Chain A
Amino acid sequence: MRRSTWKKRKSIIMGMICLLLFVQEAPYVSADGKTDAYHYSFWGDAVPSPAAYEATTIITGKKLNTTPMKEPSDMHVTANQHVFVLDSGNGRIIEMDRNFKLVRTIDSFEQEGKEDHFKNPQGLYVTEKGHLLVADSDNQRVVHLDEQGKLVKIVSEPKSDLLKEDFQFKPMRIVMDKGERIYVMAEGVFDGFMEFSADGTFSSFIGANRVQVDPVEYLWKRFATREQRSQMVMFTPTEFTNLDMDEEGFIYATSGDRGKDPVKKLNAQGTDILRREGYQTPQGDLMYTQEAGPSRLIDVDVGDSDMYSVLDSSKGRIFTYNGDGYLLHIFGGIGNRLGLFNTPVALERAGDRMLVLDKALGEITVFQTTEYGRTLHEAVRSYYNGDEDQSSVLFAQAAEMNANLEYAYAGIGKALLRQKEYADSAKYFKRSMEPKGYSKAFLLYRKELMREHFSWMMSGIFLAVAAIVTVIIVRRQKRRTTNAGIK
């Protein structure tokens, strides 16, 4: 009796302590954009997370001592962190150095002795050599300039049997690989990206999205007459919204509609080789309202160590994934304070900073990694480079800062596995919801345990079997004697 009351009292005291803890750890809400970051757990629930980036400054035309930007649509950052912005409305390219000081603006180039201008250009790419590629949309051409801004070549009016007679070439986004092949995302082209060889001739399409068929619609179509069918919308594959190229020459592409896989990594043949080993496939937001719809990914930026970020235009959020497809962090949003955007269109990473271009406001928001973001990136980087010990230390630090980062626990588990701490390793893998790793660690742990306790376990089993056999024999004997007695 006394014990039960003590138990009760204990539980009450424990409850009060817990309550106290809760009060102390209640999340505080601040207006500096630091605490509204979130993350998706293994179960797909949105969970709080520390911010990986925080907005530091905004770059506008005025800050650069030039005229304001008008509907800028694309941006590119080179290896030495020079920022090129394509100021579409003014038909010019603005180049800044790494401290966001204006270096030069390019608004015209010389073609056959005459000055030529851009007309509503939409896409920009800067090669490693500093060559500029501009998708000069309304002029229906791609302009290739060298690092001085002199014309190298113009790609226009592709001729091919693959294209329709009345094909209008309207390039929107553009990249160039090391072999000087140009990949163009053009408006109204559903067959994938247009690939141009180094001399500017059209060679083929690569990486078309598969047609997504809605079963209900398909059923209706089967029942419809020919006339009705001609009135219906055709099943067309989704268009890409953007593309980027990583160091190895793979194209990362995003498509706007939530098809099966809105993010793709294409190899030279155009097959999707993006790794989707994470808890969820890379797709932006998992939770959304029916009215708002899923994320509309409109830009992708590939950083180092296979990490890549995608930009969601509908909610203004930036999602970063690692090479295996695990979500690392989410930041940004639509709104009116620093760190939020109005109409984000382009995303670029410049070292530790992330730049987001806002089309309507004509400004670039500069984000700087926080300590948490740096730790996480460094951990991913060291894991990518094969330095597992370093990465596990960093993952442990990241997990310390964000207990909801389940992904980090697998990193710790891997290191423990190598240190032969199987039991702990299994525990961490389990916390990370990583069945493969867990199984490996657990199997080794089980083997270890078995080896340690084999002798008494085996003798125990032997004794138990012996006891059961004896009991059976004894009982049978007894029954036989009683039966004999009855007879």
Chain B
Amino acid sequence: MQALSKQLYQYPLHLIFHPFDGYWELKYERNQRNSLLIAFMILVLLVITKILHAQYSGFLINLSNPKYLNSLLEMVYVIIPVLFWCVANWSLTTLMDGEGKFSEIFMSTCFALVPLLLIHFPWIWLSLVISAQETAFYYFSNALAVAWTVYLLFVGNMTVHQYTPAKTVLTMLLTLVAMAFMAFLCLLFFSLVQQIVSFVVTIYQELVLRG
């Protein structure tokens, strides 16, 4: 048990600093169930970070209206993009001779988000004690976190699917396009459902009011 708990934090840290090794281990050597557990935990922590960030981070960098803060929505903002990315990536790579399974894609994506977590979490408190000039550090480290995450995503994709670098970049760009497409389809679907529901409701009301 102690070994597992140690592994829980050691392995993601190892992965983000040595991505090639880390992702190789993730695909071929690690216990899949443990890795999946870690991936879910990363996602949960990221959600928590996002919520805490929106509520508690310093006034200089946080200009979101506390009146409209909705933890459920914040959660959706984290989970939906990850889910979309995984689904789009999986759909594409099955067609493009990728070797990754869905669970591997999901795990590699979640592990790639660790830098976001590591950098954003301390900033919730750090941002309370900075002045306007020092917000530059915040924005810089933010950019750094994003760049790191993108790099990890790249390496993860390459390793999981056993692609060449060029093909990985292409796949990632196509994944973004596929995500946009999925978002469009989802919106279309929900708006249609809404229309149908309102149509049925209208008919029901007509009947009730006439009867």
B37 vs chain A, min Cβ distance (A): 27
- Known A43-B65, A43-B67; judge A438-B59 contact (CB<8 A): yes
Interface on chain A toward B: helix, strand, loop, or mixed SS? helix
CB distance from A437 to the nearest CB of B (A): 10
Q: Is the CB of B133 closer than 8 A to any CB of chain A?
A: yes
A443 to B130, CA, bound (A): 8
Complex contacts, B131 vs chain A, CB 8 Å? 439-440, 442-443, 446
Closest-by-CB residue of A relative to B64 is A43
Q: Does A129 belong to the interface (CB within 8 Å)?
A: no
Nearest residue (CB) in B for A437 is B132
Q: For residue B67, which residue of chain A has the nearest CB?
A: A43
- Whether, in the assembled complex, A436 has its beta carbon less than 8 Å from a beta carbon of chain B, the answer is yes
Interface size class, chain B: under 10
A430 contacts the other chain (CB 8 A): yes
Cβ of A435 within 8 Å of any chain B Cβ, yes or no, is yes
| Contact partners of A43 in chain B: CB under 8 A | 65, 67
Within 8 Å of chain A (Cβ to Cβ): is B83? Answer: no
Within 8 A of B (CB), among A133-187: none
User: CB-CB < 8 A to A439: which residues of B?
Assistant: 60, 131-133
Contact (Cβ within 8 A) B67 A435: no
Nearest Cβ on chain B to A423's Cβ, whole angstroms:
13
Minimum C-beta distance from B130 to chain A (A)? 8
| Contact status of A438 and B67, CB under 8 A, knowing A443-B131, A446-B129 | no
B61 nearest in chain A by CB position: A435
Name which of B65, B67, B131 has the most chain A CB atoms within 10 A of its CB. Answer: B131
On chain B, the residues within 8 Å of A45 by CB distance are: 67
Q: How far is the CA of A442 from the CA of B131 in the complex (A)?
A: 7
A278 to B163, CA, bound (A): 53
A430 in contact with B59 (CB, 8 Å):
yes
* Complex interface: chain A residues within 8 A of B129 (CB): 446
Task: Judge whether A438 and B65 touch: CB under 8 Å.
Answer: no
Q: Which residue of B lies closest to A426 (CB)?
A: B59
Residues of A within 8 A of B132 (CB): 435-436, 438-439
| Interface residues in B105-154 (C-beta closer than 8 Å to A) | 129, 131-133
A-B contact pairs, 5 of them (CB 8 A): A43-B65, A45-B67, A433-B59, A435-B132, A438-B60
Given A43-B67, A440-B131, A442-B131, 7 more contacts at CB 8 Å?
A: A430-B59, A433-B59, A435-B59, A435-B132, A439-B133, A446-B129, A446-B131
Instruction: Write the residues of chain A forming the contact surface with B, with a CB cutoff of 8 angstroms.
Output: 43, 45, 430, 433, 435-436, 438-440, 442-443, 446
